[in-house]
């Protein structure tokens, strides 16, 4: 290691020691750590006229030299939390952290534990280049006096959201003053800008894809690495929504079911527009619309689940074998299909291997009408042909039947024929696989997405 690199690493250690002195005081390691750093600095001083211990003294006193170094080198804090979505979101945090580290940025990963949120107080008063949460609840944590915990932490707070923003309504409403959002669907950017003035700025950045580096045989013809959700589970909440929305939920259900290409807000907006024209209600304010959509969200879940169910049934009824993963498929509804092959659940990393072993893999959007998802990126980057319903981003950036196989939600009866054709025309399928792999490597990698996140951080800092 060069002397210059040794000095820079020493400075970073000294900086972190000064930054977190209160933690080391509390755990009783302060004196030992200080002595070790002094001794290390004196050894380095023998190799140069520069005295690294002087820098350590500045960091320990947290003077103007510390402040200048802190402004330039402060870390990016990334929250991890419960392994929801089978650990997918925590996987995003790890991918971003690894890319930032490789790019030379100081990164701190912090695991949020429900019931121990007071541990976040250790960051109060500290400066971060940014605080990133992956669909986190942490940014809405408040003290008894109503103040937001993260208003005591310096730097932009950026929540990366990969579901419709209305699902996170309470968190976005109660976020810190310097709250920003990154989301993967361009419609969600528009929705937040219109209905969540609490958010300072929203950026469109999809998640990236990851590689499974080992060679694998194509063991599966068609896979679906997704869960099954029974629409009936939401029926009780839907009945309550009908009651409290003066029947709007019922009309919303009909409108959304008839216009499968529309966003939720467009379908609900159409229902409201008809009622306003008929004199049945007044035009709601943006806040009132937001509350109404939140009340009617059982409609969204029921429609999504029904469509997913219909797509799977259409494939199975054609006789095509479909490999699925996890216990959600082991229920009465699917018992009559011997061609639905259930396997144990897989982790996000193991799913990469599944894609590598699949000729085709199915994706069904959770009503993301203008997005890219990590599942599609992962399929493409692991030599698997994507079969997915359309989104604006996919149509604009990839060619149908050349880069992936797209189907129309309103014409799912054509899906089995599409699948059969490409399973029986290997040359054409392999050509799609190769083109998609090359495109995804250049467009959909976590390295590229992390660079875009860094640009969003730079813009956010200027907005403060």
pLDDT at 327: 96
With CA atoms as reference, report the closest residue to 357 among 383, 387, 396, 324: 383
Helix (H, G, I), strand (E, B) or coil at 325: strand
DSSP single-letter state for residue 201: E
Q: What is the mean pLDDT of residues 268-278?
A: 98
CA pair distance 147, 128, nearest whole angstrom: 20
Q: Is residue 383 scored above 80 in pLDDT?
A: yes
**Span 383-395, average pLDDT:** 98
pLDDT band per the 50, 70, 90 thresholds, residue 124: very high
Cα dihedral value 122, 125, 126, 131, nearest 10: 80
Residue 3 — very low, low, confident or very high, per pLDDT cuts 50/70/90?
low
User: pLDDT digit string (tens) for 427-437?
Assistant: 999 999 999 99
Position 115 scores a pLDDT of 87
What is the per-residue pLDDT across 136-175, written as a single tens digit (0 to 9) for each?
A: 999 999 999 999 999 999 999 999 999 999 999 999 999 9
Express each pLDDT in 87-104 by its tens digit: 899 999 999 999 999 999
pLDDT band, very low/low/confident/very high, at 341 (cuts 50, 70, 90): very high
- At 43-75, the pLDDT tens digits run 998 887 789 999 999 999 999 999 999 999 999
- Across the chain, mean pLDDT equals 96
pLDDT at 82: 63
- Bridging pattern class, strands 385-389 and 358-363: parallel
Note the residue count of the chain.
Answer: 464
**pLDDT exceeds cutoff 60 at 1:** no
Spell out the domain ranges in the chain. Answer: 3-58, 74-206+448-463
Residue 412 near residue 311 (C-beta atoms within 8 A):
yes
Phi then psi for residue 363, to 5 deg, are -125, 135
Work out the pLDDT band at 83, boundaries 50, 70, 90: low
User: How high is the pLDDT of residue 316?
Assistant: 98
Report, as an integer, the average pLDDT of 455-459: 98
In this model, does residue 84 exceed pLDDT 70? Answer: no
pLDDT score of 132: 98
Average pLDDT estimate for 437-456: 97
Q: Which two tokens stand for residue 367?
A: 């009503």
pLDDT band at 296 (very low <50, low <70, confident <90, very high): very high
Q: Does domain 74-206+448-463 have CATH number 1.10.10?
A: no
Q: Which range has highest mean pLDDT (2-16, 68-82, 287-301)?
A: 287-301
- pLDDT tens, position by position, 216-232: 999 999 999 999 999 99
Q: With a cut of 80, say whether residue 23 has pLDDT above it.
A: yes
CA distances from 116 to 112, 141, 142, 169 (A): 8, 12, 14, 23
Q: 3-19 vs 30-45: helix axis angle to the nearest 10?
A: 160
């Amino acid at each position: 290691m060069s002397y210059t690199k040794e000095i820079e690493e020493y400075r970073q250690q000294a900086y972190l020691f000064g930054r977190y002195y209160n933690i080391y005081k509390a755990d009783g390691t302060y004196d030992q750590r200080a002595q070790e750093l002094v001794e290390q600095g004196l050894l380095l001083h023998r190799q140069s006229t520069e005295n690294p211990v002087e820098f350590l003294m500045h960091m320990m006193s947290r003077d103007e030299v510390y402040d200048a170094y802190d402004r330039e080198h402060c870390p990016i804090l990334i929250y991890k939390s419960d392994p929801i979505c089978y650990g997918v979101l925590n996987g995003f945090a790890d991918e971003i952290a690894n890319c930032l580290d490789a790019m030379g940025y100081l990164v701190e990963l912090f695991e949020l534990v429900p019931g121990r949120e007071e541990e976040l107080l250790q960051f109060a008063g500290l400066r971060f280049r940014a605080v990133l949460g992956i669909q986190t609840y942490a940014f809405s944590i408040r003290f008894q006096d109503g103040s937001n915990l993260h208003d005591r932490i310096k730097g932009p707070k950026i929540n990366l959201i990969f579901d419709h923003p209305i699902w996170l309504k309470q968190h976005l409403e109660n976020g810190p003053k310097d709250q920003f959002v990154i989301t993967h669907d361009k419609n969600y950017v528009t929705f937040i800008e219109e209905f969540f003035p609490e958010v300072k700025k929203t950026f469109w950045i999809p998640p990236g894809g990851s590689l499974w580096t080992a060679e694998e045989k194509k063991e599966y013809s068609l896979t679906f690495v997704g869960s099954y959700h029974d629409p009936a589970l939401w029926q009780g909440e839907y009945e309550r929504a009908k009651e409290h929305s003066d029947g709007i939920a019922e009309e919303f259900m009909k409108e959304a079911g008839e216009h499968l290409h529309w966003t939720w807000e467009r379908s609900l907006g159409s229902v409201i527009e008809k009622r306003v024209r008929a004199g049945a209600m007044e035009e709601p304010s943006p806040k009132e619309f937001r509350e109404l959509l939140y009340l009617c969200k059982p409609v969204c879940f029921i429609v999504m689940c029904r469509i997913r169910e219909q797509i799977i049934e259409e494939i199975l009824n054609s006789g095509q074998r479909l490999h699925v993963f996890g216990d959600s498929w082991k229920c009465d509804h699917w018992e009559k299909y011997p061609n639905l092959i259930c396997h144990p659940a897989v982790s996000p990393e193991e799913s990469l291997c599944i894609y590598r072993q699949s000729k085709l893999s199915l994706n069904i959007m959770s009503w993301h009408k203008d997005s890219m998802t990590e599942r599609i990126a992962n399929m493409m980057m692991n030599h698997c042909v994507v079969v997915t319903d359309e989104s604006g981003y996919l149509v604009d950036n990839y060619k149908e039947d050349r880069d992936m196989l797209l189907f129309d939600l309103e014409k799912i009866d054509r899906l089995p024929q599409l699948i059969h054709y490409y399973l029986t025309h290997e040359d054409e399928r392999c050509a799609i696989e190769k083109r998609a792999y090359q495109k995804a490597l250049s467009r959909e990698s976590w390295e590229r997405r992390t660079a875009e996140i860094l640009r969003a951080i730079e813009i956010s800092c200027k907005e403060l």
